[in-house]
Structure 1
Amino acid sequence: MIALERLQEFIKKHALFQEKERLLLAVSGGRDSVLMAKMFKLAGYNFGIAHCNFQLRGKEADEDEYFTVNLASELGVEIFVSKFNTKEYASKNHISIQMAARDLRYQWLENIREEQNYQYIALAHHQNDVVETILLNLTRGTGIAGLHGILAKKGKIIRPMLFLSREEIDSMPPFEFREDSSNLSTKYARNKIRLEVIPVLKQLNPSLEQTFEANRKRFAELETMLNQRVEELRNELFKKLDEHEFEINLEKLKNLVPLNTLLYELFRPYGFTEAILSDLAVSWTSQSGKLFRSATHELLLNRDRILLGRINEEIPAPIIIEQESRLCNWNEKQFSIGIIPIEDFKMCTELNFAQLDYDLLKFPLIMRSWQHGDFFRPLGLKTKKKLSDFFIEQKISLNRKKDIPVLENGNGDIVWIAGLRISEGYKISPNTKKVFILEQLN
């Protein structure tokens, strides 16, 4: 059987798996996945079958499940089946039905793979799926990764059927399979491309699949080259400050060529979109202190550099310090409070002490985390400074900032950055009569 030999050659060429490794085949009951299961059986590979019932087509979906269970029995392999409430999942997560089915499928397959000790998950995509994916990506907008479509191997996912085209699969000796009626509906973008766009393109190029496969290989190689260059640049430009924070030389970043592509690729792993990075590029010459956020990370412009850090949304709640308070706790830190007459006062230079002019304070005071837009006048300076700039000068990472206590006066002034500096306007002076002392105990 020539197709079987081609399958084995394709698997070896792309190093998809070793012969004795256990494989979990995702089988829907459709032609492609059933053919994959039958060919794997003929090749003598060690595999089991997993079937998802998304409960979207009523009786038809249940019949697909029944057929796949019987197929596993016929092939003498173990089978795993799961029913999903796909519509409910899509509604709860505000995503499309197709995206919901995809998420549920991949999550479940990976869980089964791990629990049952399978090495890889095999999906039955073929060459026409590659064409559809590339066209779909181009229609929606894509980077270079979208131009190579579907890879034969990515992590624990393998696609051993990519050596076949739809026409070759259709020409195989007949065998039983299930036909998914939803594949004929053009309300889905992928189906519209398959049923209406590709037939027109094949009139222009009858060897469309082979052409796309050749292009796919070129794009994949270009992506490898780009990734190598980006990794070199990341190692050169990103200076690690701590586990989740980097400092980036702004001048070197500005001089990258081609700027937009490299900028996107450098920051893409941190969730930044092209729109955000375009705004960054517009702002970096004139808007020091501006912050840009993705879902997981933030970029802070600071004159000649950019700080990249992971967002930590767990901001400690503020606490109130009353005039009569003598002890307080904030973010697992404890503070003692005292008020003494100036005659009994002895200056302490340790940074865990705040010694302030009591009569300038307006109670209640607030102890909290820093906030964007905070200013204060550090001891010894004549002008106010952005707290974000002060933190940078003190080499405080984006991650650590939220854990540093900020003491706010009742009039809104910041009077102490715990462990770092008091405010110039609240220091002890010749006019001071009482001293307010706040000591961080741990």
Structure 2
Amino acid sequence: MLPLQQFQDFIEKEALFTKDNKILLAVSGGRDSVLMLHLFKALSIEVGVAHCNFNLRAEEAQRDEHFVKMLCDRFETPFYVTHFDTKKYAAVHKISTQMAARDLRYQWFETIRGKEGYDYIALAQHQNDAIETVLINLIRGTGISGLHGILPKRDFLIRPLLFLNREEIDQLIEDNHINFVEDGSNLSTDYTRNKLRLQVIPHLKEINPNLENTFTQNMARFSEIETFLKVQVEDLSQKLLQKKADGIYIALDKIAALKPQQLLLFELLKPFGFTNAVVEEILASVKSLSGTHFFSSHYQAIINRDYLIIAKHPIANHQHQVIHPNMEKINFLGQEICMSFSDDLTFEPLKFKSFADFDKLIFPLILRSWEQGDKFIPLGMRNFKKISDFFIDEKLPLHLKETTPLLINGNGEIIWVAGMRPDNRYKLTGATKKVAIFELKIN
């Protein structure tokens, strides 16, 4: 007899879906996913079945596909199947075969879900899968989020078998005479998860025969702790993170007051991709190393005087953008320069606007970042000044040195340090007949 009441109770407790929802089941043909299909059909829930053939097990993979198709024909259930060149995908993306299979199936599941109008994708992971995930996370290193194992619901993914463990599933399969196919790779110890399943967990169960229930209770506690931490971090983010046009500012004295310091700073910086190791380096540097840069994949963190500044990576330190006379808008490193021309010689002393004598311009102009050795004559001065010294005098934050655009004339001279100061050589004079107007806008 199938545990339909437990199944329904778990669905309701975790708010996995409603009776009006349409569910796409990921069915491999193994005992777990086949049991899941039987449970859904027994409750007359509208479902479809998605099956992936990864072309990794030759005839066995064809057998699995044929078995699932026959099962769907028997249940009069929509059947979706796809074939992947998993090894090729893994080689191209330089990842393991297991990771490639995971990426491919989730991408395809989501495609079918959207195309065919399903509300959720159901995966047949159970309590032992959750235990294995926690152990893998602990072995590789994890934060609190890695200790709650597999969540019953996350976005469009649901896992309605998490109320069962492996032994219970095996018993249900036997008692209900349910046919399934066995994946031969499940017996191989070449994979970390299989090693844990076959060699480690049996020893843990000798110590604690009630291992699944113990882990399930612990994971529930860790999940609650994670929720509590998220609430605290969201409150801290509102108080500590100052959003400005050029980045996120966090006062160093506020960081020094955090307790526990490393945990909370890591959680504050995690949305920007900074690892725990980088957070350690930041904390070791805040007292003495102003000007130090730290990097994640898309952001940089800079200790600048009294603040830790989080800013996006410049796309390229020496990116060049060519400007022709017919261009009205030029995008550069997340900023926009607007160019126009006028016969009106009225001058506005604004930092974000520059007025240059048109007849002195040699097109095409160039927009680029600062380079070593750059110099100009700041408006109102007679002598050259190095751009690097100018930035220091203006107390420009370090991260903005890389992204402040320089407008360069066709002869190589700097016309304007955008948003800061024009060059004196291109100022309007009594001889000016036409004006080129440049305006910096921050996107």
Asked if TM exceeds 0.5, the reply is: yes
The one of 214, 219, 222 aligned to 2:217: 214
SS state of the match for residue 386, structure 1?
A: helix
SS state of the match for residue 108, structure 2?
A: helix
- 2:289 is matched with which residue? 287
Contact 1:375 1:386 in 2 (8 A): no
Contact 1:316 1:368 in 2 (8 A): no
Q: 1:233 to 1:376 in 2, by over 3 A?
A: farther
Write the mapping of 1:318-333 to structure 2, written as runs, cut at 5 A: 318=320, 331=331, 333=338
1:76-98: CA deviation from partner (whole Å, max 9, x where unpaired)? 11011111111111111111111
The one of 386, 401, 404 aligned to 2:391: 386
So what's the TM-score if we normalise by structure 1? 0.82
The one of 237, 242, 247 aligned to 2:240: 237
SS state of the match for residue 290, structure 2?
A: coil
Moved more, 250-259 or 187-196: 250-259
SS state of the match for residue 299, structure 1?
A: strand
CA deviation after TM superposition for structure 1 residue 204, in Å? 0.6
Instruction: Return the letter of the residue paired with 1:43.
Output: L
Q: 1:50 to 1:187 in 2, by over 3 A?
A: same
Q: 1:302 to 1:373 in 2, by over 3 A?
A: farther
1:112-156: CA deviation from partner (whole Å, max 9, x where unpaired)? 111111111100001111111111111111000111100111111
Q: 1:167 to 1:372 in 2, by over 3 A?
A: farther
Instruction: Return the letter of the residue paired with 1:85.
Output: D
- Counterparts of 2:70 and 2:247, CA distance in 1: 53
CA deviation after TM superposition for structure 1 residue 62, in Å? 1.1
- Counterparts of 1:286 and 1:118, CA distance in 2: 56
So what's the TM-score if we normalise by structure 2? 0.82
- 1:440 is matched with which residue? 437
Instruction: Return the letter of the residue paired with 2:277.
Output: A
1:303-329: CA deviation from partner (whole Å, max 9, x where unpaired)? 1123323346278953689xxx99999
- Counterparts of 1:20 and 1:122, CA distance in 2: 15
Moved more, 412-421 or 107-116: 412-421
- 2:17 is matched with which residue? 17
Unaligned segments of structure 1, at least 5 residues = 337-344, 429-433
- Counterparts of 1:7 and 1:35, CA distance in 2: 11
Contact 1:153 1:159 in 2 (8 A): yes
- Counterparts of 2:121 and 2:163, CA distance in 1: 17
Aligned length: 418
Contact 1:120 1:157 in 2 (8 A): yes
- 2:162 is matched with which residue? 162
SS state of the match for residue 163, structure 1?
A: coil
Cα root mean square deviation, aligned: 3.8
Unaligned segments of structure 2, at least 5 residues = 332-336
Instruction: Return the letter of the residue paired with 1:217.
Output: A
- 2:334 is matched with which residue? none
**Sequence identity (%):** 43
- Counterparts of 2:45 and 2:373, CA distance in 1: 64
- Counterparts of 2:46 and 2:371, CA distance in 1: 57
- Counterparts of 1:210 and 1:40, CA distance in 2: 24
Moved more, 48-57 or 270-279: 270-279
SS state of the match for residue 103, structure 1?
A: helix
CA deviation after TM superposition for structure 1 residue 258, in Å? 0.8
Q: 1:283 to 1:373 in 2, by over 3 A?
A: farther
Q: 1:284 to 1:405 in 2, by over 3 A?
A: same
Instruction: Return the letter of the residue paired with 2:437.
Output: Q
CA deviation after TM superposition for structure 1 residue 353, in Å? 2.8
Contact 2:370 2:405 in 1 (8 A): no
Instruction: Return the letter of the residue paired with 1:118.
Output: Y
Q: 1:419 to 1:166 in 2, by over 3 A?
A: closer
Contact 1:272 1:294 in 2 (8 A): yes
CA deviation after TM superposition for structure 1 residue 279, in Å? 2.0
Contact 1:376 1:415 in 2 (8 A): no
Q: 1:327 to 1:22 in 2, by over 3 A?
A: closer
Moved more, 202-211 or 303-312: 303-312
Check if 1:367 corresponds to 2:353: no
Instruction: Return the letter of the residue paired with 1:282.
Output: A
- 2:260 is matched with which residue? 258
- Counterparts of 1:375 and 1:277, CA distance in 2: 34
Check if 1:178 corresponds to 2:175: no
CA deviation after TM superposition for structure 1 residue 249, in Å? 2.1
